[in-house]
Amino acid sequence: MPGQSQAAAPRIWEEPTRATKSGVDCVFLTCFDSDFYFLVNVLPGSEIRMHRAETLEQADFLLTVTGGTVLLTDVTFLDGCWDEAVDMLAQFHPLVAFLVIADEVDRRFVSEAPHRGACGVLWKPLELGQVWRFIRTAHEATEERTIWQHQRLCQR
């Protein structure tokens, strides 16, 4: 009846999943404040949430708790280099896509990154449009891998 209030059914809170969350959670493995804050400041309207890790352990933790779909890594960081980040992903987060940020002088050192599964190498100085496109593409790769894995598991 009009004018009567009906009690709403209690809502049960559920943890957002990759399917219900909007935007991209990207973990940036770097020891450089300036690079991290540059990206945080230029990407706020892009639905890309940047989370900073300085070590592999922090990156692993942040990928887990945020449901991160992209790992962006410097060539080197406090406790390793990009290929060790790849090994961590393979062991603990095999569906997560990764990107490497490198200086031109590191070209030979990161030449194997695409062969180890990198979705790309971003060269410094960073170009905002390219950073945005690479992160979105890497996120989409993770989403596709997740769907593919789910379909494979359902077929069993």
pLDDT for 132 equals: 93
| pLDDT at 10 exceeding the cut of 50 | no
Most confident of 12-21, 38-47, 131-140: 131-140
| pLDDT at 23 exceeding the cut of 70 | yes
Chain centroid, CA 116 distance in Å: 17
Tokens read off for 45: 């309207």
Q: Which long-range contacts (CB under 8 A, 24 or more apart) does 117-122 make?
A: 117/86, 117/89, 117/90, 118/86, 122/72
CA distance 16 to 86: 26
Share of the chain above pLDDT 90, in %: 75
| pLDDT at 14 exceeding the cut of 90 | no
pLDDT for 21 equals: 62
Question: What does the pLDDT average to over 57-66?
Answer: 98
pLDDT for 91 equals: 97
CA distance 121 to 101: 6
Task: Write down all domains in the chain, each with its CATH number in brackets.
Answer: 24-155 (3.40.50.2300)
CA distance 87 to 116: 9
